[in-house]
């Protein structure tokens, strides 16, 4: 009986391993190497569309110029973009003219993630989407809007801050939400005007490696509100960017800003708020711009509030929290709005 039990246990273990390997292979089947292989170095030199929930495992991954891993769908799950996990035991290199684009991108590397000049990781406008239904918007901080035949603008979406209110305070912007130290939320959609649809929110980017070298761009921006005569949509809010590495360096930009409020006539939409960026590292030498600005607006509509930029270097007790709106305060257009709260 003991031998039979041992055989059954072994058979069950083998079955579980077989199923796990099958699921991994199935999950990554939509992404194939143009040269090399996943066991050594996989090179992608042409566009490869991934499916929602795909998991791609490899040693080294190179996305050459003209290559991309992408999914631009917004309807795969709850009106936001598609999820992708890339697990690497070696290095990731994103070359000039190459990109990874999707709604929710997580990349884990035991070694280095390198984004060369002209390379990009993009989740802009792939967060929560405004519904086609007149009154509906999506996300924890979605803007307000009437969506009727009346000439009324809509509010911008909130995330790292509040969304801007529409002209003449017709509809308010969405509220802030999320965690500034470990952001993991989609940006929300702006409110809908009559014909001016709310802008989409930014998506989610999470990078975890030994070294992150960014000479390109990491983007999770919200979309501008739709423009229509006398009823602009609210701007979408920026998404979430979380970087964790022993060393973070480079001259590239990291951006999670809100979308501009829609405009064209008397009823103008509010700007979307900035999103959230968080960096956890031991050695920080990034010289590129970090920005989570609120989306601009026109006329008397309010711009979106700034989002948050959090940096924790060498295990600070509290870290540094930066709130900046590019020298513009919501409701005012001439004063600086940059604050840095030290550890």
Segments forming the whole domain that contains residue 204: 123-341
Percent of the chain with pLDDT over 90: 59
pLDDT at 302 over 80: yes
Q: Distance between CA 95 and CA 120 in Å, rounded? A: 8
pLDDT at 20 over 50: no
Q: What pLDDT sits at residue 148? A: 37
Residue 35 falls inside a structural domain: no
Q: Distance between CA 121 and CA 98 in Å, rounded? A: 9
What's the pTM value of the predicted model, to 2 decimals?
A: 0.85
User: 253-255 and 47-49: which strand pairing?
Assistant: unpaired
Residue bearing the bigger pLDDT, 150 or 99: 99
Residue bearing the bigger pLDDT, 246 or 173: 246
Residues 181-218: tens digit of each pLDDT: 999 999 999 988 766 788 999 999 999 999 999 999 99
Q: What is the DSSP string of 247-283?
A: EEEES-EEE-PPPPPP-SSSS-PPPPPP-EEEEEEEE
Mean pLDDT estimate for the chain:
83
Q: Distance between CA 53 and CA 154 in Å, rounded? A: 33
Strand order in the sheet with 99-101: 47-49, 68-70, 99-101, 120-122, 217-219, 253-255, 290-291
Q: Distance between CA 309 and CA 125 in Å, rounded? A: 19
Residues 161-182: tens digit of each pLDDT: 999 888 766 678 889 999 999 9
Q: What pLDDT sits at residue 241? A: 99
pLDDT at 16 over 60: no
| Residue 267 contacts residue 167 (beta carbons within 8 Å) | yes
Residue 302 falls inside a structural domain: yes
Q: What is the DSSP string of 23-66?
A: HHHHHTTT---SEE-TTSEEEE-SEEEPPTTEEEEESEEEE-TT
Q: What pLDDT sits at residue 299? A: 73
Residue 90 falls inside a structural domain: no
Residue 116 falls inside a structural domain: no
pLDDT at 17 over 50: no
Residue 114 falls inside a structural domain: no
70: part of which helix (H) or strand (E)?
strand 68-70
**What's the number of domains the chain is made of?**
1
Residue 16 falls inside a structural domain: no
Residues 43-80: tens digit of each pLDDT: 999 999 999 999 999 999 999 999 999 998 876 556 78
Q: What pLDDT sits at residue 50? A: 96
pLDDT at 317 over 50: yes
Residue 19 falls inside a structural domain: no
| Residue 166 contacts residue 133 (beta carbons within 8 Å) | no
Residue 28 falls inside a structural domain: no
Residues 127-160: tens digit of each pLDDT: 998 765 444 555 565 655 544 334 567 889 999 9
């Amino acid at each position: 009986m003991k031998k039979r039990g041992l055989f059954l246990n072994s058979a069950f273990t083998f079955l579980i391993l077989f199923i796990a390997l099958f699921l991994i292979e199935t999950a990554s089947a939509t992404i194939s190497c143009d040269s090399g292989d996943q066991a050594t170095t996989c090179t992608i030199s042409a566009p490869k569309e991934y499916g929602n929930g795909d998991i791609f495992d490899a040693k080294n991954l190179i996305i050459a110029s003209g290559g991309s891993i992408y999914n631009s769908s917004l309807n795969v799950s709850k009106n936001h973009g598609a999820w992708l996990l890339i697990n690497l035991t070696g290095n990731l290199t994103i070359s000039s003219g190459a990109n990874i684009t999707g709604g929710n991108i997580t990349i884990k590397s035991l070694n280095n993630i390198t984004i060369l000049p002209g390379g990009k990781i993009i989740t802009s406008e792939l967060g929560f989407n405004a519904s086609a239904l007149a009154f509906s918007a999506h996300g924890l901080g979605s803007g307000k809007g009437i969506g009727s035949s009346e000439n009324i603008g809509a509010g911008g979406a909130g995330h790292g801050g509040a969304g801007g209110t529409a002209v003449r305070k017709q509809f308010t912007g969405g509220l802030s939400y999320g965690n500034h130290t470990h952001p993991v939320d989609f940006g929300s959609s702006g409110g809908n005007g009559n014909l001016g649809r709310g802008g989409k929110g930014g998506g989610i980017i999470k990078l975890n490696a030994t070294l992150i070298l960014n000479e390109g761009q990491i983007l999770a921006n919200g979309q501008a509100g739709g423009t229509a005569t006398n009823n602009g949509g609210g701007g979408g809010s920026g998404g979430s960017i979380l970087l964790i590495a022993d060393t973070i360096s480079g001259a590239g930009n990291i951006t999670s800003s809100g979308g501009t409020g829609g405009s064209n006539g008397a009823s103008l939409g509010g700007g979307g708020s900035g999103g959230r960026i968080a960096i956890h590292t031991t050695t920080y030498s990034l010289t590129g711009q970090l920005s989570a600005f609120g989306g601009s607006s026109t006329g008397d509509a309010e711009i979106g509030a700034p989002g948050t930029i959090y940096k924790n270097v060498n295990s600070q007790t509290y870290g540094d929290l930066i709130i900046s709106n590019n020298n513009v305060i919501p409701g005012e257009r001439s004063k600086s709005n940059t604050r840095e709260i030290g550890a």
